[in-house]
Amino acid sequence: MQVKLESFRKFESGNLKGFGSVTLEDGDTAITLNDLRLMTKTGEYGEFFFIGFPSSEYKDKNGTKKYKPFVRVDKTLAKKITEVLATEYNKSTEKDKGSTTTKEKEKEPFDDTELPF
């Protein structure tokens, strides 16, 4: 199965690194997953990326807030999706180095049509 990048928007806030969409292709069959969150976590072996899938919020019988993902994939596919989005994040981070200053970025118009919510 191939994982094709459709879009990525860098958005850094804590462990969140950005949002992306990918298409999963297998022969003549395909499905697109939108609003994926590229996240980081620091573990025993350093920082690593992982994917957060879109989810819905609910409360369990004790009233505790929980989240249920809309889609679940196996570890192999999750790793492929993560690699595609992390590669794009790393490219955008490299472009940011020396491309424009923070003040210049603040002056750019904000396009809220790219937000995932």
Q: For residue 50, what are the contacts with CB-CB under 8 A and spacing of at least 6? A: 39, 40, 41, 78, 82
Q: Nearest Cα to 1, choosing from 76, 86, 71? A: 76
Structural domain contains residue 113: no
- Mean pLDDT of the 80-94 span: 93
Bridge partner residues of 55 (DSSP): 69
**Between residues 95 and 26, the one the model is more confident about:** 26
pLDDT tier, 106 (very low <50, low <70, confident <90, very high otherwise): very low
- How confident is the prediction for the chain on average, in pLDDT? 85
Query: How many domains in the chain?
Result: 1
pTM assigned to the model: 0.74
Q: Which residue has the higher pLDDT, 68 or 100?
A: 68
Q: Examine residue 111 and state whether it is found in any structural domain, yes or no.
A: no
Domain enclosing residue 54, as ranges: 2-98
Closest CA to 52 of 17, 23, 25: 17
74 in any annotated domain: yes
Give the pLDDT band (50/70/90) at residue 113.
Answer: low
Quick check: 85 pLDDT over 50? Answer: yes
Mean pLDDT along residues 5-17: 95
| Residues 25-31, mean pLDDT to the nearest whole number | 95
